[in-house]
Chain A
Amino acid sequence: MTINITMAVTLAGLYSIGFYLLMQRSLMRVILGIVVLGHGANLFLQVAGGPPGEPTFVGTAVIEAMVDPLPQALALTAIVITFALTTFLLALSYRSWALLGHDEVQDDVEDRRVAAAERAAREREDEAAEAEVGESERVAGFEAPEAPEAGPGQTDEEAGIR
């Protein structure tokens, strides 16, 4: 057992706050979320290293009393890479600010369009089903309850998208 309650609670707090920041609209907050998550991850790596011990300088302590040096080395690498990532993201958000005038994460327009196209296709099918009452009444009756859902409001929205 290498973890203690304080460490676990800190991990939980850092990860929760990091995740929450990541889900924000503001790009700056997203970056801060990544930074906080990075801190949490570095702390997590220390869990692998076992309980606290003496620093790993050869000759200053017996091996059994030392902490595990490998997670420390890996965390060192991780710290630097988090820094690189943060810098790049900051540059990106700066660019977004310069070009778009805001630093918000926007919805993917393409995905929205896909969803709208699906809705339109469904509506068209409903119309076709109603037109083909002679061919198969059962199918038309089956789909009829969905017609009100695809109301005029959505048609307007699609018109706007196109």
Chain B
Amino acid sequence: MAIVAHFALAAVLPLVARRYGRAAFVVGALVPAGTLVHAFTRAGDAVAAVPPSETLAWAPAIGLEFTTRFDELALLLILLISGVGTVVLCYYAGYAKVGDRRTAARDSALLVTFAGAMLGLVLADDVISLYLFWELTTVCSFLLVGGDGIRKRLRQSATQALLVTALGGLAMLLGLLLLATAAGTLRISEILADPPGGGVVPAALLLILLGALTKSAQAPFHPWLPGAMVAPTPVSAYLHAAAMVKAGVYLVARFAPGFADQPAWWIPIVGCGIWTMLLGGFRALRQYDLKTLLAYGTISQLGFLMIMLGTGTWLSALAAGTLILAHGLFKSALFLTVGIIDKRTGTRDIRELSGLGRRWRVLTTLATLALLSMAGLPPLLGFVGKEAALEALLHAGAAGLVACAGVVLGSVLTVAYSLRFLRGAFSRKPDVEPPPSAPCGRVMTGLVALPAFAGLVLGLVPGIAEPVLAGYAGSFGPGPDYHLALWHGVTPPLAISAGIIVAGYLVHRYAGLQRLGGRLPEPLQAQNWYRASVDGLEHVARGVTGRIQVGSLPVYLGVILTTLVVVPGAGVLAGGAEFGQLRLFDNWLQVPLAVLVLAAAATALLARRRLTAVLLTGVVGYGIGAWFVVDGGADLALAQFLVETLTLVVFVLVIRRFPPRFTKDRPYVPGRWVKAAVAGVAGTFVAVLAVLYSGYTHGMPEASREYIERAEDETGATNVVNAIIVDFRAFDTIGEIAVLAVAATGAASLILARSRRRTRQGGSDTGAEAGDTGRGDAHPEVTS
């Protein structure tokens, strides 16, 4: 219902925007806001033991249906999608340029469509609609990043995002289908309730993970995300921080309860997660562009989420849920802050910003709140989540300890780049002239306040969100007695947290380390891999097209014939076909006929004069006719003789006008031998097929027997072939006559057009002259 409302509104929004400009964003915000309220009122249902679900038959004949299921995980994501969506859409109304109605129309409609697709994605309970909405979000992202598509950089980034995520999406589709086939159902909830086993499942899981990892920008697929930062800041805030990149996390979260103990599942997740978290944090340390800094921060945080989901215990799931919520809130607040800075000062480069903290105290406070949450400091939600995460990892065995070390290191980097953001954006730098700036705007600041304060409130009172989060964690089995809280007493996680903060501060202060930060050797940069693979693909495509599509008919035919031989030939060889006993001949007359036919055909091949070739081909035809007589096909032979005679007459009529000899072939001998070889092999292959085929026929088929038995009674004819042609299979004959009529009409029109032109041109008979007059004036005569 809500999904449909999203799409319906998105269809109307361009009209609104054309009329009222950027007010369209506010109108568009109504639907996510409504969804948010609706989700709140129905939150009780989601937490209930049996979550409500709806089914809409889509194509019942093949078992396709659209199923939604509103459970705790879906509720959590909906709150995020709709909440952040509402804020971002309202914010965009202030961010957009006043006069630019086309952009407003496009982006507002796309954003609302995207919100609907995300909603469908998290609600979908069958793999097909899951995939459908998944790709819809990819397409929306492509269009939103691409913008008007005028600048090359926009197009490149959008294409990269599309290629990487769509590639993962396709792999995911394959994985989902394999999984669904193994489980025997398309319903995700049923698959998870009874996870299938067997050899195909690890492969399916790896394919699904490929989709999740590309979508959530995990290393080594991450470079598309910083590239996508060329999009308008609200779009980045929504798609590339809060919502779309969460789709991969969501997918992992959705399937984790069923497969958390499969090595093919958790090892790649945790491994990529640690790698991503460290790499993202490391690269963020070097960025000067605030937005790119946040993008790398997002990558790092997504890696963190993946680690927690891959660990797959009750506690880690609780931590992951908390962190999903926290990340969505603080990251959208930070992006919106960057948007304000960019809009009001004209730059978002750390090296050019100075002294904003004094001037924009409210915004600075809000951003600080969000940054504290990101760095995992009390009393914010990020801290609560990180405490739970550390607690979970410390109790998750040896792998958990390795992951814990990764998380600690990653968190140190997180603290460091949070400080970099804070100081870079707001502090006063002595050697930098403060940029000219306007007031930061009350409405937009107010919108930043919403997610920032939500993080604070939830951090202070985590009990609000706990039923939902614990409900999701409950799908991993019963949990220990742990509650989200700011203060658990003096515990190892608290000590680790304190250590992280101190270490992060030191990393930030210690300038030498920071200068080192983010520098990667060239061959290790994933962006180069991407570029090399895309270039390579284009290269191969161009090479293949250039070599195969040469425009020469003989070459094409040769390729087709070779394929004909190679593909079924390989099958025949692999199948180990039997040839059985072969007789030399059935009737001794066949042998001289075969010699005659082959000799005539071979000489026709070598003939230099047209007439000779045609007459020899006629001999082939008569030979075949005689063969029919020997084989017992009297009618067939009659038809063959008649038609062969007619064909000869037509040939002779036509070649009258041609020169007596064939045009000389170009002296290209190797080509001739290649042609002969291909033709010989293909012809032999056909004969082999015929032998094989005949080995599998036994006696007269039932249909033919029936024809013979019924011929006299039903048609009154004793000649069965005649009976078949004019009665049993009369429709075939009608079709045949139609073909004849069409061919005759065509041939007649082609020839008559010529004769009419000749009379008009005063009897110029040589083709060369006619050719010189060109094609242009010939065609109208054909049609006339």
- Residues in A lying within 8 Å of B, measured CB to CB: 1-26, 28-29, 32, 35-36, 39-40, 42-44, 46-59, 63-64, 66-70, 72-77, 79-88, 90-95, 97-105, 107-112, 114-115, 118-119, 121-122, 136, 138-139
Contacts and interface: CB of A to CB of B under 8 A. Distances in A.
A115 B551 contact: yes
Nearest to A81: B739
Given A19-B679, A20-B675, A28-B662, A95 B750 contact: yes
15 contacts: A11-B690, A15-B686, A20-B675, A20-B680, A29-B662, A44-B690, A51-B586, A58-B720, A69-B704, A69-B720, A73-B725, A84-B740, A98-B767, A110-B551, A115-B549
Nearest to B631: A52
Interface in B626-674: 627-628, 630-636, 639-640, 643, 646-647, 650-651, 654-655, 657-658, 662-663, 665-666
B743 A6 contact: no
B424 to A, nearest CB: 27
Q: Chain A: interface secondary structure? A: helix
B550 interface: yes
B708 A76 contact: no
Contacts of B743: 84-85, 87-88
B538 to A, nearest CB: 9
B598 interface: yes
Nearest to A7: B590
Interface string B578-607: 001111111100110010011001101100
B682 interface: yes
Contacts of B632: 52-56, 66-67
B639 A70 contact: no
Contacts of A76: 635-636, 639, 721, 725
A12 B654 CA distance: 30
A6 B585 contact: yes
B545 interface: yes
A107 B552 contact: yes
A98 B658 CA distance: 10
A109 B643 CA distance: 37
Contacts of B657: 94, 97
Contacts of B676: 20
Contacts of B443: none
A70 B683 CA distance: 25
A43 B631 CA distance: 10
Contact of A83 (B646, B663, B675): B646
A118 B721 contact: no
Interface of B: 522, 528, 531-532, 535, 542, 545-546, 549-554, 557-558, 561, 580-587, 590-591, 594, 597-598, 601-602, 604-605, 610, 613-614, 617, 620-621, 624, 627-628, 630-636, 639-640, 643, 646-647, 650-651, 654-655, 657-658, 662-663, 665-666, 675-676, 678-680, 682-684, 686-687, 690-691, 693-695, 697, 699-701, 703-705, 707-709, 711-712, 718-721, 724-725, 729, 732-733, 736, 739-740, 742-744, 746-748, 750-751, 753-754, 767-768, 770-772, 775, 778
B331 to A, nearest CB: 31
A82 B639 CA distance: 12
Nearest to A19: B679
A75 to B, nearest CB: 6
A80 B638 CA distance: 12
A158 B624 CA distance: 51
Residue among A49, A70, A74 with the highest chain B CB neighbour number at 10 A: A70
Given A3-B691, A23-B675, A92-B750, A55 B633 contact: yes
6 closest A-B pairs by beta carbon, nearest first, are A16-B683, A111-B551, A15-B683, A91-B747, A12-B687, A101-B771
Given A72-B635, A85-B743, A24 B554 contact: yes
Given A4-B584, A23-B678, A26-B663, A122 B542 contact: yes
Nearest to B557: A23
Nearest to A68: B704
Given A6-B591, A68-B701, A121-B542, A73 B604 contact: no
A112 B634 CA distance: 50
Given A5-B582, A59-B718, A105 B594 contact: no
A90 B627 contact: no
Contacts of A69: 704, 707-708, 720-721, 724
Contacts of A24: 554, 665
A87 B646 CA distance: 10
A54 B747 CA distance: 39
Contacts of A104: 663
B663 A102 contact: yes
A138 B532 CA distance: 10
Given A8-B687, A10-B594, 5 more contacts: A10-B598, A12-B687, A17-B679, A66-B700, A91-B747
B553 A105 contact: yes
B309 to A, nearest CB: 37
B691 A8 contact: yes
B658 A109 contact: no
A99 B771 contact: yes
B600 to A, nearest CB: 10
Given A39-B620, A72-B633, A56 B720 contact: yes
B771 A90 contact: no
B533 to A, nearest CB: 13
Nearest to A41: B686
A93 B707 CA distance: 42
Nearest to A97: B767
A70 B557 contact: no
A4 B590 contact: yes
A147 to B, nearest CB: 14
Nearest to A100: B771
Contacts of A58: 708, 711-712, 718-720
Contacts of B746: 88, 91
A52 B583 CA distance: 13
B770 A47 contact: no
A26 to B, nearest CB: 5
Contact of A72 (B590, B721, B739): B721
A76 B643 CA distance: 10
Contacts of A108: 551-553
A49 B690 CA distance: 12
Contacts of B720: 56-58, 66, 69
Nearest to A4: B583
Given A23-B675, A94-B654, A83 B643 contact: yes
Contact of B522 (A81, A105, A138): A138
A5 to B, nearest CB: 5
